[in-house]
């Protein structure tokens, strides 16, 4: 056989015999219609990062800013998101993660509003008490406190 000669499809090229003298088996012909063809499963991983579970933020809100137990609920949803991510259910992990994020944001906002309200109340209370102490007429602020009779 000449090296430049083409070999028809479906035949083995005898010029390049397999090692050890074994012949390769030819593939069978076409399958009859009705038989399942052989399938190959290719696992394609997406290039997007896995969904976030916001576990550290939820833990912080649970320990320090647990207003209306929102921090604890965020921690619960964060753990659920982490579990779903480990199982491979990325849609559920993303859903639980976004719920945890919303609860963390609400806990943060309510806690900041509470701290701001306490600061305002303490500041106004200090101002009122200072005015009362510096006033010449103590009876104008607390009339029943300084009544002699």
Given this model, what pLDDT does residue 49 score?
84
For 120-148, the three-class secondary structure string (H helix, E strand, C coil) is HHHHHHHHHHHHHHHCCCHHHCCCCCCCC
Summarize pLDDT for 45-85 with one digit per residue, the tens.
667 788 899 999 999 999 988 878 999 999 999 999 999 99
Given this model, what pLDDT does residue 48 score?
78
Better-scored residue on pLDDT, 135 or 98: 98
- At 11, list the tokens: 């035949």
Q: Which of 105, 52, 30 has its CA nearest to residue 74?
A: 105
* Residue-averaged pLDDT of the chain: 78
* pLDDT score of 106 more than 90: yes
Given this model, what pLDDT does residue 40 score?
73
The values of phi and psi at residue 6, to 5°, are -80, 145
């Amino acid at each position: 056989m000449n090296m430049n000669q083409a070999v028809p499809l479906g035949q083995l090229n005898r010029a390049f015999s397999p090692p050890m003298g074994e012949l390769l088996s030819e593939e069978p012909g076409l399958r009859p219609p009705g038989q399942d063809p052989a399938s190959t499963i290719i696992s394609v991983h997406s290039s997007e990062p896995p969904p976030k579970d916001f576990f550290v933020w939820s833990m912080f809100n649970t320990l320090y800013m647990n207003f209306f137990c929102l921090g604890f609920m965020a921690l619960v949803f964060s753990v659920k998101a982490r579990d779903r991510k480990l199982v491979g259910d990325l849609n559920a992990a993303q859903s639980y993660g976004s719920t945890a994020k919303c609860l963390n944001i609400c806990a943060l906002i309510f806690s900041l509003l509470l701290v701001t309200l306490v600061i305002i109340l303490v500041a106004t209370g200090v101002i009122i008490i200072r005015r009362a102490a510096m006033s010449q007429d103590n009876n104008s602020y607390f009339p029943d406190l300084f009544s002699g009779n």
